[in-house]
């Protein structure tokens, strides 16, 4: 969920005006160019001499346990990517959702019902006043401006289109990852949080990793990081820093930057250029004009670990759906229920007999400048929990229609990044991709490092 907390579309899409807030899916009005300077509340850092390796866990959580508030989208998340770090003095261990589509990291503070951070138990904790330069200027990349509360402290509020929201005080404390020295970091200490899901039972908040000035990446001056998202629970890995990994033949595509502020272009997201889409060997007839941002910024392509599935603008989605149905005719049985739309955006659904393996279907290849990402096998279809038709389960294509959200962007979610090494190389302005089994990559990392 991009800027929010927990899990499946894991936190994503902005809901038109009401939810133009906090996520890589947010179609927000970019305010200023993203920077990589550290905040005034953060101790300046240098590049790490040795990369830091952390386990990245895929955590499934229950969903739809709470009713959606009025005027909020029906999205919910049921998968999160979590890492563990320590915060405060003495250190408190917390698990956070990793989200490259969000900026501000946050922790639920003093919760009696969920994992949380206890600020009063930390001698290094300090709330940030609204008069601070951090509050006045470094919140500029947040889609919703910070405000002052009754105590003249910097108040932040986050909201996501999956109906999750959170609000509290901007604060600073010491964050430690692995054996690295603690770094003073600005974050949201949230007193209230609402989630459309039951919540990740292990997570106390979210680690924002986009290019905004208050993201964890910017505050720690991290110039390169990478991860492998596993299709299993615990064999994923997060690498902070750079290592020469000869066993990973990375192909790179440049990051796309637009200097002018545009209403629907998120300038702190990891935006790349989608060149085309293939189904099997067939190149879809998608006009180039559909794949590039228009004069408003709508149509950018974002890579986002906080979104579960992948979303395509309507024209591209329609072309994919038509060709996929054509190539799977006689192999997959369409659901043929026009009113059934999974999570409000996935309407290419099928009936698959229970207790049988999924049939073989053609791969879908996302084509970027200089790189490709292939989506195949079980990553193409998703079992809709609780939906049974006779002796059949309901499975949906894991590409959604952005126009149904509505969302004015292409978003590559973490489900389609499974068993792909993804490198965010800010130093050279590019993203790298390489197919790899995460469990084997983790083993090789242990040998190389």
Q: Is 69 exposed, middle or buried (0-12, 13-18, 19+ CB in 10 A)?
A: exposed
Nearest to 12 by CA among 214, 308, 226, 357: 308
Whether the upstream peptide bond of residue 277 has omega within 30° of 0, thus cis, is no
pLDDT in tens, 287-324: 999 999 999 999 999 999 988 899 999 999 999 999 99
pLDDT at position 447: 59
- In this prediction, residue 69 has a pLDDT band, given cuts at 50, 70 and 90, of very low
pLDDT at position 254: 98
- In this prediction, residue 63 has a pLDDT band, given cuts at 50, 70 and 90, of very low
User: Which has more pLDDT, 74 or 376?
Assistant: 376
pLDDT at position 429: 97
The kind and range of the H/E element at 219 are helix 216-219
pLDDT at position 50: 77
Average pLDDT (442-446) is 82
pLDDT higher than 60, residue 423? yes
Residue 350, phi then psi, degrees to nearest 5: -140, 160
Chain-wide mean pLDDT for the chain? Answer: 83
CA angle, 427 as apex, 414 and 52 as ends, to 5°?
65
Cα(415)–Cα(398) distance, integer angstroms: 8
Cβ-contact 85, 203 below 8 angstroms: no
Cα(236)–Cα(229) distance, integer angstroms: 5
pLDDT at position 380: 97
Share of the chain above pLDDT 90, in %: 61
Q: Count the residues in the chain.
A: 449
Give the chain's end-to-end CA distance (angstroms, integer). Answer: 31
Catalytic annotation, residues? 99, 304
Cβ-contact 102, 2 below 8 angstroms: yes
Cβ-contact 227, 117 below 8 angstroms: no
Cβ-contact 225, 217 below 8 angstroms: yes
Q: DSSP assignment, residue 443?
A: H
| pTM for the full predicted model | 0.84
pLDDT higher than 50, residue 26? no
pLDDT higher than 80, residue 358? yes
Nearest to 202 by CA among 290, 116, 99, 104: 116
Average pLDDT (342-362) is 93
Cα(77)–Cα(404) distance, integer angstroms: 17
Locus of tokens 């979590």: 82
pLDDT in tens, 244-277: 888 889 999 999 999 898 999 999 999 999 999 9
Q: What are the residues facing 60 on neighbouring strands?
A: 79
Q: What is the dihedral sign for C-alpha 338, 339, 345, 346?
A: negative
Q: What is the dihedral sign for C-alpha 317, 322, 323, 328?
A: positive
pLDDT at position 176: 94
Cβ-contact 175, 87 below 8 angstroms: yes
């Amino acid at each position: 969920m991009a800027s929010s907390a927990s899990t499946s579309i894991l936190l994503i899409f902005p809901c038109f005006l009401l939810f133009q807030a906090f996520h890589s899916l947010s179609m927000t009005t970019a305010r200023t160019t993203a920077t990589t300077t550290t905040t005034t509340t953060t101790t300046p850092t240098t590049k790490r001499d040795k990369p830091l390796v952390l386990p990245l866990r895929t955590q499934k959580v229950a969903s739809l346990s709470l009713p959606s508030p009025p005027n909020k989208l029906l999205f919910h998340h049921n998968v999160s990517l979590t890492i563990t770090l320590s915060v405060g003095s003495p250190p408190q261990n917390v698990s956070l959702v990793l989200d490259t589509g969000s900026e501000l990291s946050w922790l639920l503070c003093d919760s009696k019902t969920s994992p949380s951070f206890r600020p009063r138990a930390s001698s290094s904790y300090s709330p940030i006043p609204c008069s601070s330069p951090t509050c006045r200027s470094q919140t500029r990349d947040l889609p919703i401006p910070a405000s002052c509360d009754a105590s003249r402290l910097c108040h932040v509020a986050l909201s996501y289109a999956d109906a999750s929201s959170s609000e509290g005080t901007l604060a600073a404390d010491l964050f430690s990852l692995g054996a690295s020295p603690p770094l003073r970091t600005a974050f949201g200490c949230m007193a209230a949080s609402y989630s459309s899901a039951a919540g990740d039972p292990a997570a106390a908040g979210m680690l924002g990793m986009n290019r905004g000035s208050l993201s964890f990446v910017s505050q720690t001056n991290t110039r390169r990081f990478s991860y492998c998202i596993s299709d299993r629970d615990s064999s994923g890995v997060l690498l902070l820093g750079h290592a020469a990994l000869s066993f990973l033949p990375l192909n790179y595509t440049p990051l796309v930057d637009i200097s002018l502020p545009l209403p629907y272009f998120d300038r702190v997201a990891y935006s790349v250029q989608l060149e085309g889409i293939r189904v099997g060997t067939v190149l879809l007839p998608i006009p180039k004009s559909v794949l590039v941002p228009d004069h408003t910024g709508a149509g950018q392509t974002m890579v986002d670990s906080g979104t579960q599935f992948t979303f395509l603008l309507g024209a591209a989605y329609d072309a994919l759906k038509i060709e996929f149905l054509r190539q799977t005719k006689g192999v997959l049985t369409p659901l043929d229920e026009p009113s059934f739309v999974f999570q409000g955006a996935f309407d290419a659904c099928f009936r698959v007999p229970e207790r049988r393996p999924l049939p073989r279907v053609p791969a879908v290849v996302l084509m970027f400048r200089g790189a490709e990402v292939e989506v195949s096998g079980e990553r193409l279809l998703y079992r809709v929990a609780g939906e049974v038709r006779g002796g059949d389960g309901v499975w949906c294509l894991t590409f959604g229609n952005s126009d149904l959200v509505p969302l004015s962007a292409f978003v590559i979610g973490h489900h389609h990044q499974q068993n792909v090494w993804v490198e965010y190389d800010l130093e050279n302005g590019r993203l790298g991709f390489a197919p790899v089994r995460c469990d084997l990559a983790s083993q090789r990392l242990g040998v190389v490092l």
